[in-house]
């Protein structure tokens, strides 16, 4: 049996002196006197609830305001009421103290979890993408989102960016390189940039960059497939496009071939950008949401040869007041045609590994120079490649505007002849 406490006396209570730490004097039957370091003496009683549990003791009064005899009576009442499930002032106060302590503990735990999440790779990479997005073209953002969300976050998401080391990311990159070597290189690039973002946020020191240069095995990356040295094959591509059953996709591919604009720009073309009378397509450098439309972020315009105007007029006749030239197809969720649909169409035509939508840019760059004798600077201007400086960019836009109109009609006529076979048959 537990040892019973010797009942207190008024003399003991009066003589009780404060100590460095609070201490209890037991009176028995659950009643104790708590003496604080400041000398305050409080009556505390332990009790049981109907379910048999023992919550935190209840403070029922203070000495000498409440005498020993009164404390014993109140203690019995509290214990009796608690056993019956009644809530008295002492019990309520004890419960409030327990709840307050539990709430404070939960809040502290929540703050700790929030801090752990704030410095995690998942959170830092998310903030990095949000900061970069306004400066990226949509396709650049899409690729970064794919690499980060599908490959990096599942493996590194919970790691503390303050403690991230090369040994943590190396296995992830090496594993990616086995199946997707090009994405692995993008992942390495993104990781370096994410670490720099963490440094800028003050989570890492300036000299804490990762050693990523020699992690990946040697790999010879290639350019996107493009027909650049075979007139017959390019003519085959143009004939396949000409008979492709989906009118919207066919028209978009023709526009991409005739203007050599990037596939994402073509797929998202708006009618407000197209001037059919002037034969001009004026492309804003930025999207309405502030992200890059053109890769350089600069406004751009290209002339539209007669063949391009023909397919655009056809799309205008089919259009029912929509914002975009090429509406989405099938179950696409985007407001306009997906750029991936164009590449998929060329694969369906049998040109996988030989030619892509982006490949028309390489075709113009090479064949335009070799077959048509177009000046390199004019070709670079048409491809909207970023000049070395802003002065040169402005000069090129002014200098080559009319020349580009001439050469793009020349390019369209050349593709027409390849499509009909006139060049191969020697017909002028």
Residue 428 belongs to some domain of the structure: no
Question: The tokens of 422 are what?
Answer: 């006139």
Query: Are 141 and 57 found together in one domain?
Result: no
**Domain end (from 151, 184, 200):** 200
Tell me, yes or no, whether 260 lies in a domain: yes
Query: Measured between alpha carbons, how far is 163 from 203 in angstroms, rounded to an integer?
Result: 9
CB 129 within 8 A of CB 145: yes
* Residue 4, in any domain of the structure: no
Kindly report whether the peptide bond that precedes residue 64 is cis, defined as omega within 30 degrees of 0: yes
CB atoms < 10 A from the CB of 409, how many?
Answer: 18
Overall domain count for the chain: 3
241: nearest Cα among 362, 345, 328: 345
Residue-wise over 271-306: b if at least 16 C-beta within 10 A, else e? eebbeeeebebebbebeeeebbbbbebbebbbbbbe
Per-residue pLDDT at 82 = 79
Same domain, 385 and 265: yes
Residue 224: CB atoms within 10 A of its CB come to 12
Are 404 and 285 within one domain? Answer: yes
With respect to residue 215, please indicate whether it lies within any of the assigned structural domains. no
Query: Does residue 99 sit in the same domain as residue 132?
Result: no
Please give the pLDDT value at position 140.
Answer: 83
CATH number of the domain at 414, please. 1.10.443.10
List the domain range (segments joined by +) for residue 388. 231-420
* Residue 1 belongs to some domain of the structure: no
Containing 100, the helix (H) or strand (E) segment is helix 89-118
Strands 274-275, 58-63: pairing kind: unpaired
- Whether residue 206 is contained in a domain is answered as no
* 263 in the same domain as 126: no
Domain finish residue from 54, 78, 105: 105
DSSP lists the bridge partners of residue 44 as 32, 59
Contact criterion met (CB below 8 Å) for 325 and 276 = no
Residues of the chain with pLDDT below 70 are: 1-4, 52, 85-102, 104-105, 218-223, 320-321, 386-399, 423-428
Do 97 and 126 lie in a common domain? no
CATH of residue 183's domain is 1.10.150.130
Q: Quick one: pLDDT at residue 3?
A: 53
Rounded Cα distance, 323 and 103, in Å: 53
Q: The domain that contains 23 carries what CATH number?
A: 3.30.160.390
Whether residues 183 and 247 share a domain: the answer is: no
- Residues 15, 161, single domain; the answer is no
Contact at 8 Å (CB) between 358 and 226? yes
With 0-12 / 13-18 / 19 or more C-beta atoms within 10 angstroms meaning exposed / middle / buried, residue 75 is buried
219: in domain:
no
Same domain, 19 and 92: yes
In a domain, 224, yes or no: no
Torsion of CA 258, 261, 264, 270, to 10 degrees: -80
Residue where one domain finishes, among candidates 46, 76, 105: 105
The reply to whether 310 and 253 lie within a common domain is yes
| pLDDT attached to residue 2 | 47
The whole model's pTM is what?
0.54
**Whether residue 151 is found in the same domain as residue 98:** no
Residues 275 and 398 in one domain: yes
């Amino acid at each position: 049996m537990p040892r019973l406490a010797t009942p207190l006396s008024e003399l003991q209570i009066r003589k009780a002196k404060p100590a460095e730490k609070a201490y209890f004097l037991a009176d028995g039957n659950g009643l104790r006197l708590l003496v604080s370091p400041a000398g305050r003496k409080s009556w505390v009683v332990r009790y049981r609830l109907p379910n048999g549990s023992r919550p935190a003791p209840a403070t029922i009064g203070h000495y000498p305001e409440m005498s020993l005899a009164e404390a014993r009576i109140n203690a019995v009442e509290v214990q009796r009421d608690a056993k019956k499930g009644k809530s008295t002032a002492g019990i309520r106060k004890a419960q409030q103290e327990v709840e307050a302590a539990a709430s404070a503990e939960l809040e502290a735990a929540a703050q700790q979890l929030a801090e752990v999440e704030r410095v995690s790779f998942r959170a830092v990479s998310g903030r990095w993408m949000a900061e970069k997005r306004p400066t990226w073209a949509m396709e650049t953002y899409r690729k970064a989102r794919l690499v980060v969300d599908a490959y990096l976050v599942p493996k590194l998401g919970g790691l503390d960016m303050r403690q991230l080391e090369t040994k943590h990311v190396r296995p992830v990159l090496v594993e990616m390189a086995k199946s997707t070597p090009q994405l692995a290189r993008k992942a390495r690039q993104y990781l370096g940039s994410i670490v720099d973002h963490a440094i800028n946020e003050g989570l890492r020191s300036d000299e804490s960059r990762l050693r990523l240069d020699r992690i990946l095995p040697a790999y010879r990356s290639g350019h996107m497939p493009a027909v650049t040295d075979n007139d017959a094959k390019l003519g085959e591509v143009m004939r396949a496009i000409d008979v492709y059953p989906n009118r919207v996709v066919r028209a978009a591919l023709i526009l991409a071939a005739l203007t050599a604009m990037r596939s994402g720009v073509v797929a998202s073309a708006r009618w407000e950008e197209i001037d059919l009378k002037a034969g001009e397509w004026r492309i804003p450098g930025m999207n309405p949401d502030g992200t890059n439309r053109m890769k350089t972020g600069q406004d751009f315009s290209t002339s539209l040869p007669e063949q391009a105007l023909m397919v655009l007029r056809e799309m205008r006749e089919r259009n029912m007041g929509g914002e975009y030239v090429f509406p989405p197809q099938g179950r696409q969720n985007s407001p306009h045609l997906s750029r991936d649909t164009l590449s998929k169409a060329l694969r369906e035509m049998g040109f996988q590994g030989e030619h892509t939508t982006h490949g028309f840019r390489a075709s113009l760059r090479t064949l335009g120079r070799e077959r048509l004798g177009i000046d390199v600077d004019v070709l670079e201007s048409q491809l909207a490649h970023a000049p070395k400086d802003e002065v040169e960019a402005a000069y090129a836009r002014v200098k080559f505007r009319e020349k580009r109109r001439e050469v793009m009609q020349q390019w369209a006529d050349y593709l027409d002849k390849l499509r009909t076979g006139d060049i191969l048959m020697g017909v002028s």
